[in-house]
Amino acid sequence: VQLQASGGGMVQPGGSLRLSCAPSGRNLDYSTVGWFRQAPGKEREAVSAISRSYTRKFMSNSVKGRFTVSKDNAENMFFLQMNNLKPEDTAVYYCATSRYNLITSSWSQTAQYDTWGQGTLVTVSS
């Protein structure tokens, strides 16, 4: 199973983008979907995550109030709506899934995720 992330691009500060992530191949078994990003020269950082049951959502402080995570169970797709983008949001964004029901203390750890997408580049610049 692979994950296909899409929706990245270049946008001016204050603009919006919607990232999508879709699995390909056989049915994906997961419990948590996460979004991560990696800026040039920096470590990969967690942005947001959502449980399969929709009962838990997590958001990093740096994007809280601007980004929204969601998923469409019927279409088996995952989304990251990004509003009021800032230059510091520039990064390659990755979606990932975990077989675990991640909680507050674990959702941001890359090691908890076992399937990763190829990444989509988001550039925020005037």
Q: What is the pLDDT of residues 28-60, one digit of tens each?
A: 788 999 999 999 999 999 999 999 888 899 999
**Is residue 17 pLDDT above 90, yes or no?**
yes
Q: Give the mean model confidence (pLDDT) for residues 104-113.
A: 95
User: What burial letters (b/e) apply to 45-74, b meaning 16+ CB within 10 Å?
Assistant: ebbbbbbbeeebebbbeebeeebbbebeee
Q: Which two tokens stand for residue 19?
A: 């990232």
pLDDT digits (tens, 9 = 90+) for 79-92: 999 999 999 999 99
How many CB atoms are located within 10 Å of the residue 8 CB? Answer: 18
